[in-house]
Structure 1
Amino acid sequence: MARSYSVYDVFTDRKLAGNPLAVIFDGEDLSDEAMQSIARETNLSETVFVQKSANPAYSARIRIFTPGRELPFAGHPTVGTAIALAERTHGSDATLDLVCVLEENVGPVRCAVRLREGVASFAEFDLPRKSQQIAMPLEKLGIANALSLKVTEIGFENHVPSIWSAGVPFLLVPIHDIGAAQRMEFDPQLWEKTVPFVDGALASAYIYCRGGVNHSAKFHARMFASGMGIVEDPATGSAAAALSGAIHHFDRLPDGHHPITIEQGVEMGRPSIIHLHMDVEAGAISNARIGGQAVRLATGSLDL
């Protein structure tokens, strides 16, 4: 059976940048094992399988697989799939604003999509869950060793390593500056010996600091997930979603709207821009959204 697919570069407005995503449009009747095998074959950070939802109010059900395992939720697959489905239905040269709901294992995810002729499409989604801290003991020296950094380079201002999740848990590691981010070397063996398992899986590493190579970026980030089969990820929306909780917790954001731009993938030669928006009311995050652009790189069919 021929199953159509597209490859999108997500969190970027140009091809061969951002985070590549494979979207398998004909995902019906595939077993979990088959989907995992296809994800290993594409060998991208994530591969999405589009299926019909049992709820007619939802645009689709999507299953998200890394080369190593299935995820309940992920950011760049959500943005990329929302754009891919909109362009598949209305054409990439349409001028249109629309809203869709994607059913993911984490639950329904509401997405807004903006299509503009001659401009890379944009999508943003409401976080399916607010970021929550997971309190677990962490060894700062061990984390520093796993990143090949000095222990004095771990943390800035009052930011310290902590675990947060908005559907997928990450160990968020603040480091001193971009220089440390660029010269760090991730050691997966030392990381596995040092950090805890969360929800039955090794916590992935999300390294962040203030500022960016791009003058508009407020944070610079890198993400490593050896437990998912990902050496390094060019853009991680689910980690940015987790970061929203840490930013509010450590920076004590005042009430109001807070737009935050995060750059990632710079060291990989695949620069990505992730837009995080947070609304704070009565000292708590009332709403948060992740958004970004995506461009189609390839289309074809799988003969399965």
Structure 2
Amino acid sequence: MRERRFMQVDVFSSSAFKGNPLAVVVDGEGLSDAQMQAFARWTNLSETTFLLPTTQPGADYRLRIFTPSNELPFAGHPTLGTCHAWLQSGGKPQREGIVIQECAKGLVPIRVDYSNAAAPLAFAAPSSTRKPFTEEQLAAVLAAMGLQRDEIVDCALLDNGPLFWALLLRDPDRVMELVPDSSALYAIRAEVGFAAKYAPQNDALIGRSSREARAFERSAADDASDIEVRVFFNATTTAVEDPITGSFNASFAQWMIDAGHIEAPYVAAQGTCIDRDGRVHVSRDAQGQVWIGGASHTLIQGKVTL
């Protein structure tokens, strides 16, 4: 065991302590799989990452991502948070303005633009596959979430490493009200993300809910949100709501934009129901690449004996 640089980073919020926390072991070289998993279990955060020397040409750093129970090939807030930690620890990218991250999913480009305070870092959303599903499978998911079929505008089963059910609802207020049946969600082993868009700015206010009305009254601030997102995991018989989920927002954005449900750029809010203030900034470049950005803050910095 030896001392290793360690950071804890808050990701996807402009307000410290309102985002998604991430543990980063900056000097991860020499640790075994079992040691990494044990430390991730001990931190008890949704993800813990380990920075390692690269194995692929062109990569600036390599990371491995662990939940308390298993390793992930890719995840969104660990990607932004680890890049933030690497840069804060003195990392220098080979190309100005672009960091190339190596992970089990492959090489992931991350744009660096500190002039954009709301989203100084943004990762290129990795390819996402849309999996086939049956109406019977969908019915089980809807039942677990307490939803009726006619409340759903569209749905998809999305895979960009993690596998998510994605449900687009008609009403933002309904998104905020939902309480899943934890046992039912666990029984079908489903990770579910759902969202609804705020009403268009040019619609009439008459008859709109208070949440929709606030959508019209929002200022033009960088973190004003266009869509409300919630994500539930089924790791135990008690469903866990994720504060902000970069991987879901990445595959969800690709699907929503391709299906014509929303145009980029847009801002997704997440974590509202659990007292977080997540903001995920989604853009799409001229080549069609979707980028997922947000703010990060270093809240703990020191050494860990590992």
The TM-score normalised by the length of structure 1 is 0.83
The TM-score normalised by the length of structure 2 is 0.82
- Who is 1:78 aligned against? 79
- Who is 2:298 aligned against? 296
Q: Give the drift of 1:235.
A: 0.7
Is 1:193 the counterpart of 2:201? The answer is no
Contact kept in structure 1, 2:52 and 2:61, CA below 8 Å: yes
Q: Give the drift of 1:11.
A: 0.6
* 2:17 partner amino acid: L
* 1:248 partner amino acid: I
CA change 1:232–1:19 in 2 (3 A) is same
- Who is 2:123 aligned against? 125
Contact kept in structure 2, 1:264 and 1:272, CA below 8 Å: yes
- Who is 2:90 aligned against? 89
- Who is 1:35 aligned against? 36
- Who is 2:266 aligned against? 260
- Who is 2:101 aligned against? 102
* 1:301 partner amino acid: K
Q: Distance in 1 between matches of 2:135 and 2:29?
A: 42
CA change 1:270–1:19 in 2 (3 A) is same
Q: Give the drift of 1:35.
A: 1.1
Q: Give the drift of 1:169.
A: 1.8
- Who is 1:240 aligned against? 249
Q: Secondary structure at the residue paired with 1:41?
A: helix
Note the alpha carbon deviations across 1:52-87, whole angstroms, 9 max, x for none. 112363221100111221111111111111111112
Q: Distance in 2 between matches of 1:68 and 1:231?
A: 14
- Who is 2:230 aligned against? 222
Which structure features the higher share of strand residues?
Answer: 1
* 1:176 partner amino acid: R
Gaps of 5+ in 1: 92-96, 195-201
Gaps of 5+ in 2: 199-210, 219-223
Q: Distance in 2 between matches of 1:89 and 1:261?
A: 30
Q: Give the drift of 1:252.
A: 6.2
Q: Distance in 2 between matches of 1:164 and 1:68?
A: 22
Contact kept in structure 2, 1:123 and 1:293, CA below 8 Å: yes
Identity, in percent, stands at 30
- Who is 1:94 aligned against? none
Contact kept in structure 1, 2:121 and 2:295, CA below 8 Å: yes
For residue 142 of structure 2, the aligned residue among 129, 141, 144 is 144
Q: Give the drift of 1:46.
A: 1.0
* 1:143 partner amino acid: V
Contact kept in structure 2, 1:178 and 1:209, CA below 8 Å: yes
Q: Distance in 2 between matches of 1:136 and 1:49?
A: 35
Q: Distance in 1 between matches of 2:253 and 2:5?
A: 35
For residue 182 of structure 1, the aligned residue among 176, 179, 191 is 176
Is 1:64 the counterpart of 2:70? The answer is no
Q: Secondary structure at the residue paired with 2:69?
A: coil
Contact kept in structure 1, 2:125 and 2:251, CA below 8 Å: no
Q: Distance in 2 between matches of 1:224 and 1:116?
A: 33
Q: Give the drift of 1:225.
A: 1.4
Q: Give the drift of 1:153.
A: 6.0
Structure 1 residue runs of 4+, over 6 Å off? none
Q: Give the drift of 1:121.
A: 7.1
Q: Distance in 2 between matches of 1:128 and 1:43?
A: 27
Contact kept in structure 2, 1:63 and 1:70, CA below 8 Å: yes
Quote the RMSD (CA, aligned, Å).
Answer: 2.6
- Who is 2:161 aligned against? 167
Contact kept in structure 1, 2:257 and 2:264, CA below 8 Å: no
CA change 1:121–1:7 in 2 (3 A) is farther
Q: Give the drift of 1:90.
A: 7.1
Q: Distance in 1 between matches of 2:151 and 2:31?
A: 44
CA change 1:141–1:277 in 2 (3 A) is same
